[in-house]
Amino acid sequence: NAGVMQNPRHLVRRRGQEARLRCSPMKGHSHVYWYRQLPEEGLKFMVYLQKENIIDESGMPKERFSAEFPKEGPSILRIQQVVRGDSAAYFCASLPGTGTTGELFFGEGSRLTVL
């Protein structure tokens, strides 16, 4: 059973470009969370999605950031017009949706560098 898969692992963008980060949850998992980790800091919650629904986006910046989890395919975190402050590691985590509480399964992260 493959774990949570994130790609790309590393992404370099220039200021003003767009960044798209993908996350395929573990097989059978229908809940996806995105977290951001700034250098030398902890994880900050960004958004919680189920298939075709955004459940909680209270941690998402109001502008330039969006997320989706379509019926088919991976979850996408999209950052438009990136700025240097967006440089961070973005982690995706998944849950089956029922049963276990809090045992999030994390991907290895996508590290975004904005030049």
Partner 1 sequence: AQSVAQPEDQVNVAEGNPLTVKCTYSVSGNPYLFWYVQYPNRGLQFLLKYITGDNLVKGSYGFEAEFNKSQTSFHLKKPSALVSDSALYFCAVAPNAGNMLTFGGGTRLMVKP
Residues making contact with partner 1 (CB under 8 A): 4, 31, 33, 35, 41-45, 48, 56, 91, 93, 95, 101-109
In angstroms, the CA 83 to CA 72 distance is 30
Beta bridge partners of 75: 23
In angstroms, the CA 74 to CA 100 distance is 22
Query: Between 20 and 106, whose beta carbon lies closer to partner 1?
Result: 106
Query: Between 48 and 69, whose beta carbon lies closer to partner 1?
Result: 48
Residue 99 tokens read as: 């049963």
What minimum distance in Å lies between the beta carbon of 113 and partner 1?
Answer: 14
